[in-house]
Structure 1
Amino acid sequence: MSAAGPILEVEAIQAFYGTIQALKGVTLQVNQGEIVTLIGANGAGKSTTLRTINGLMHPKAGKIRFEGQDITTTPPHQIVAMGISQSPEGRKLFPRMSVTENLEMGAFQRKDKENFKDDTERVFEYFPRLYERRTQKAGTMSGGEQQMCAIGRALMARPKLLMLDEPSMGLAPVFIEKIFEIVVQINKDGTPVLLVEQNALMALDVANRGYVLETGRVALEGPAAELKVNDRVRKTYLGEG
């Protein structure tokens, strides 16, 4: 898909947990129309990068721009209102609320409540399984169904950028394939995606470009197709000899 300039620019960010430096100058960008993936081992700084973008953490140094606007120190609720929505690692649904109520929570900051029904229908088109389960308590669904609900909830905010944190974690292979098919469809329908994923092979299959994070630094970057055949990536992340 042709890219039309960056929607997100992350520039040399440094982030700390107490005295421990988690990010050591991470630079990346997501262009309009792209799926960009961030891969790396556990503890490499992938989720921390998302936390600095969505405002849950503020970097000690560096800049984050969204649609050209500096959001480095913007509070999380304002970042959501500007158009960055995230499906978090571990899904974090409201387990006692129904699927429909969870989706409603994704739209609670929106002013245009009249479009709510259209957006719910769009989520149900992506995830027919959620329509079948719409009155069911989210906590009683399978892991795969809960992941669909978490992505659906993020879409209810009508994001200009969708961030997905480990969407395949703990899922059966059949669900993983389905989730990634839908991620591709969401992107084709016009939403750029920043995807953090342990399953490097699946991530590089669907992404346009990728960044490999190692101990808080970008070790490699490039077109996903090139990263997939890179010897270092294949040995370290794709489990090939």
Structure 2
Amino acid sequence: MLDGIGVIIAIAFSLLYPLIIWLLVKKVRFEQESYRYLFAAFLLGAVVFYLAFLRKFYVLFISGYALWGVDLLGTGFIEEAVKLLILILPFIRVRLNEGNGAFYGLAVGLGFGGGEAVFLLAPAAANFYINQILFFVYLSQINTIATMALTPLEVILVNLFVLPDLLSVINSLSFAVFTPSLMGLSLIAVFERIFAILFHASSAAIIGYGLVRGKTLKFYLIAVILHILFNLFAFIYAVGLIGIIEVEILLAVFAIVLFVYVVYRKVLAV
């Protein structure tokens, strides 16, 4: 039951947080814009996240650092492309002009970020209590091995082929189990999604801004480069150059600065 509550909280946060941002920006300047079309842009943004995620088929063919490199570059191009796809849909494109193009992009990006947050947070919350059980199961296996009477050869084999895998699994599970959480929902993951959603909103707004000014390719590539830079922090963390706290702070600062700049200079600018 508790894991179910965590999933509900995850979904509620993932959808309500970007919707609130969208409504606040609309209230400031875009009261005349149709809720129907803006909400359609938001929902389609959430849906195309799952279309963009299909790019992950390449995990079947590559692994290790090569996978990280392809993911680092490919994610920016593909995810920004599907955001652009929504903005050029005829029933959306016909409503865009230089005054609202960036705002429609913002709506698409907020939806995209919300869809991604549901995908990441809800399963993590659902698996939290399963991970707790698995953690103690694997830990008990370590204790069992420690109490066994082993021959010298068996000790060598266990140390070479059994313990490394067990310790690796326990280390992964310990991060999931012991990080601060609310009903199984990792607060670090929520913190990260807060700023990832802001980033997706900003990059899509940049694309919308360029689209209505006839500079689609230029501003699409700017969004892609920013996306690669944003993901670069996670790559640096993945290779062990910085810790989880440092990477989350860097992601937050990057996302906030970009969002504030885009909203004031592109979205709300007359």
Structure whose residues are more often strand by fraction: 1
- Whether the TM-score (by the shorter chain) exceeds 0.5 is no
Q: Which has the larger radius of gyration?
A: 2
Give the structure-1-normalised TM-score.
0.27
